[in-house]
Structure 1
Amino acid sequence: MAIGSGLGAQLGIAAESTYGTYVAPTKFVEFTKEGLQLKKTTAQSAGIAAGRLLPLSSRRVVTQREASGSIDMEVTNKAMGVLLQSLMGTSVTPVQQATTAAYLQTHLLADIAGKSLTIQKGVPLTTGVVTKKNFVGCKVISAEFSCEVGGMLTASFEIDAKDCEETSVLATATYPAMSPYHFGQMAVKTGAYASETARDGVRKVSIKIERPQSVDRFYANSSALKKEPITNDQVKITGSIEMDYVDTVLDDLHTSDAATSLLWEFKGANIASTFDERITFALPAIRIDDAPPTVEGFDVVKPTINFTGLYDGSNQPKIEYMSTDITL
C-alpha cells in the first residue's frame, strides 16, 4: 500500500504512436505539483412538461470531453527526453559520444505534429489505495524554465489532452538515480552565435516556449472527443534575465535593438572523457524588449532584461541534453 497522501503519488509518461491511443508508461518523472484534470461539457434537456419543477437527471448528456493541466518539476540529469521532444518537435535519437556512456539529445525547434504522450498519474486515497487516471493524447502547449540564485532549475509544462480514462492498469513506478540541475551549475553567455562569452552579474534566467495549437477540433463522428491539435500560429519564445548592473552590454542592446545569441547552460557531473551531464538552451537571436536600468534606492541597481527569441535566418533554437539515457 502507498502512503495515503501526495507522498504516494506517481507520474508516468510514454510517447504515443497514434494520437490518443493509450501506451503504458515507460518513464517515471519526479514532480513537485500537477494539475491534470478531465474537463467535460454537458447539456441539459429542459423541455416543458406539466408540473415538472426540475430538469430530468436522465436527460443530461456529455457533449464534449477533453483534459488539460500543468506539471511542475525540477529539471534532472535523466528522464527528461520525452517531454523535451514533445515541446520542441524534432524526432530525437540519443547519439552515443565516442564509446562512452554519454548520449547527446539535440532537440531542434520543429512542428509538433505526431508528438503526443500518454501521461498516467496515480493519486492516493487516504487509505493508501492509489487511483489511476490515464491522460491520452497529451500535447505540450508551453513550457517555462527558470533558475535563480540559490535555487534549482525548474520547469512547468502546460498540457492539453484528448481524454482521461481510468481502465488501464496502474504501472509500477521505477526511478533511476537522478540529480537536479541548480544555480551552482549555471552559465549564461551572449554574443555571436557559437562564439558567445560569459555574462557577469546574472542572478536569474527564465525562458518560456509557447507552441500555439488549435485545441478545439471537435467534429461529428468523433464520440465527443477532439482530433489532434494542429499548430495554428508561430512559436513564441520570451524570457527575462535579472542581474546586477555590472556592465552595459545588455543595456546597449536594448538601446540599439541589435540581436545577440543567448546560451543558457547547466553542467553536472562528468560522465566520461570530456562529456559532462548538461542541459543547454540555445537561442541564436534574441532582442531586448525593455527594462533599461532604473535607480530605486540605495541598493545595487538590479535591472530585469525582458527579451524575445527570434529566428536568425540560419539556426533554429534548440535544447541539448547530455545524459546516460540510451533512449528517450
Structure 2
Amino acid sequence: MAGTQDCSIGIAVESTYKTYVAPTRWYEFLDESLDWNKNVKQGQGIRVGSRVARSGRRVVPTADGGGDITLECCSKGMGLLWQAALGTGVSTLVSGTTYQQNFTLGDTPSSLTVQKGLVEVGGTVDAYSFLGGMVSGFEFNFPNADIATLKLSVDAGDLTTAQAYAAPSYPSAPVNLFQFANATLFTGTLTAPTTTVLASAITPLANVRGGSVAVNHNIRSDRFNATGTGRKDKPTKGLSEITGKLDVEYASTTFRDAVLNETPMNLLVTLTAGSLSTGVETLQVVIPEIKLDGELPKANGTDLIVQSVSFAGLDNLTAAQPIWVVQRTADNAL
C-alpha cells in the first residue's frame, strides 16, 4: 500500500500542445504547488424573489493551471527539465560513456505533460495530469553550505484526472547531488562551451558565499480564443529576462566598484559531483555578461559584512548566447 510520502512528479514531452503523453521521467522533488484555476463568473441579473446568487447563473468561461516544482540538482535525469526551462537542448557524446548536454534559450520551447500522483489516506494513488505544461521561468539556487536546487514555474493549459497513474521509475545509481562543497565561481576572460568542451574563465571569485540565477520568459499565457472551449492556445515566448544575486563577503572593493561604475563582468558557476568515464559530473551556468544593480556594503554590527549583490544578465552584443546551462553526465540522451 502506498504511504502519504509516496507522492510523485513525472513528465513527458508532448508532440502536440495539451495532448497527453504518459510520463517517461520522474524526479525526487522537494515540493510542488501545481493547481487548477477556474475563472468563475456569477450572473448579476436582478430577479424578483432572489435573495442570493442563483446556481443556474454561475459559469466558468476560462480555466488554466500551473504552479512551481522545486527539486535538488542531480547528476542524472535532468535533461528534459533543463530543455523545457531554457527552450533548446543538445546531447553530445564526449567519449566513453560521458555525454555533454548544452542548453540555450529557444524561441519555441516544448510543452510537457506533468503528472503528479497524490496518495489518499487509505493508500489509493490519484493521478493529476497537467497538459500543455510550459516553463514560464526558473530559478537555480546554489546556497551557502547546502544542496543546489532548481525551481520551475509551470503554466498549464489543461488538466485531466482520467488518465491512468504511471508508476515512477528513477535513474539507476549512482545519482549524485550538486552541492556547495564542489562549487566554484569564475569571471574574467570567458571561453564559451562547445558541444564537447566545458566553459572556462580565468579569475576566481573566492569570496562568494552563494547565490542564484533566474530566468523569466515573460510568456503570453492569456491566449484564450473563441472555439477554444475555455482553454487557451499555446503560450508564446516573450523577451527573456536574466537576473540573479550573489552573496559576497566584503573582502575587497571589487563588487562595490562594479556597482558604482556599471562594470560589465561575466559569470561562470560550476558544480561537480562523481566520476565519469571522462572527467567528472558537472553542472555549469554561464552568463557572458552581467551588470550589478546593488547593493553597497553595509555595517553589520560586530559581525561579518556580506553584500547581497543583485545583477542583470545581458546579451553582451557579441556572445553566441546570453546564457548556457551545461551538464556533463552519464545520461546518453536528454
Question: What range describes the TM-score normalised by the shorter chain of this pair?
Answer: over 0.9
Q: Distance in 1 between matches of 2:41 and 2:253?
A: 59
Deviation at 1:35, TM superposition (A): 0.3
For 1:264, the aligned partner's letter is: V
Against the structure 1 CA distance between its residues 52 and 295, is the aligned structure 2 distance closer, same or farther, given a 3 Å change threshold? closer
2:17 and 2:132 in contact (8 A); partners too: yes
Please give the secondary structure, in 2, of the residue aligned with 1:272: coil
Given that 1:193 and 1:260 are in contact with CA atoms closer than 8 Å, whether structure 2 keeps it comes out as no
Gaps of 5+ in 2: 192-200
- Structural mapping, 1:44-59, within 5 Å: 44-59=42-57
Corresponding residue of 2:312: 308
Q: Which residue of 1 aligns with 2:91?
A: 94
Q: State yes or no: 1:115 paired with 2:121.
A: no
Corresponding residue for 1:322? 328
AA of the residue aligned to 2:181: G
- Residue by residue, what CA displacement relative to the aligned partner does 1:164-196 show, whole Å, maximum 9, x if unpaired? 111111101011232221101111111122233
Residues 64-113 of structure 1: CA deviation (Å, up to 9, x unaligned): 120011001111111111111111111x2311112x111111001222x2
Give the secondary-structure state (helix, strand or coil) at the position aligned to 2:67: strand
Tell me whether 1:154 sits opposite 2:152 in the alignment: no
1:206 aligns with 2:219: no
**How many pairs are equivalent?**
321
One-letter amino acid matched to 2:248: M
Partner of 2:62: 64
2:101 maps to what in 1?
105
Secondary structure of 2:190 counterpart: coil
Separation in 1 of the partners of 2:153 and 2:289? 25
User: What's the CA shift for 1:293?
Assistant: 1.8
Q: Does 1:192 align with 2:189?
A: yes
In 2, Cα distance between equivalents of 1:63 and 1:108 = 37
Does residue 240 of the first structure (1) align with residue 245 of the second (2)?
yes
**SS class of match (2:83):** helix
Are 2:8 and 1:10 equivalent residues in the alignment?
yes
> Structure 1 stretch 317-326 or stretch 249-258: which is displaced more?
249-258
Does 2:129 align with 1:134?
yes
For residue 128 of structure 1, give the secondary structure of its aligned residue in structure 2. coil
**Deviation readout 1:247-284 (Å, 9 max, x if unpaired):** 333222223212111000101111013x2111100000
CA offsets, 1:132-183, max 9 Å, x none? 1000001111111112222100111111110111111110101123222110
The residue number in structure 1 matching 2:178 is: 181
Q: Any stretches of 5+ residues in structure 1 without a counterpart?
A: none
Following superposition, the deviation at residue 60 of structure 1 comes to 2.5
TM-score, length basis structure 1: 0.94
1:101-129, CA deviations, whole angstroms, 9 ceiling, x for partnerless residues? 11111001222x24111100001111110
Following TM superposition, the consecutive aligned residue runs of length 4 or more in structure 1 with deviations greater than 3 angstroms are 45-50, 52-56
Q: Secondary structure at the match of 2:69?
A: strand
Which has the larger displacement, 252-261 or 73-82?
A: 252-261
Contact conserved, 1:192 with 1:260, CA < 8 A, in 2?
no
